[in-house]
Structure 1
């Protein structure tokens, strides 16, 4: 099954401009019909979904492009692709630790304020 660019825009909630940009920088390479209109295959859709997932991990576009280039080179680059994904996992793990520490700090501060608020309410009702 093939999809036209407008269908991909709606299906994946991505702008046509972004799809064209991804094509321009070599992230995607949809087929073309006899009228030179883009045709996206199921494999293209799966690849776009993977790109979006990488973007959600805050992987820089430069790194996603590097991954795409390795992917185009074939299975002999699997080890290098694993390395890129492991580097991103390390960055995410560090980011998660920072976020967890921030959340812990906020929870402590909120609990402190709630305790102060309860004490204040109790002293006013006496």
Structure 2
């Protein structure tokens, strides 16, 4: 069972991911709705994995991931993006994201990505 931090500005998306992960025996240690909250929660809870939305108000997922990885190089982050954000996904992978999942979420793909990143 992995401890996972879910970061997305849309509550519905956080709930959807949370449901998928809990059904597959993972523990949700926190939820954040922007990059600043994500950094604070990561520091506080030290999750095994973060699912991070790319586009959020205040601070993007890309900026938040870069800052988290600066302080915690071992941090494992899976980026979440809507269709049509390929350029940002490439940038995220180059900046250290371990994988990405596309919205709307497909349960099989989410679990496949999570399992691959955690092993």
- What TM-score does the superposition give when structure 1 sets the normalisation length? 0.25
Higher fraction of helix: 1
Structure possessing the higher radius of gyration over alpha carbons: 1
Of structures 1 and 2, the one with the larger relative CO (CA 8 A, separation 6+) is 2
- What TM-score does the superposition give when structure 2 sets the normalisation length? 0.26
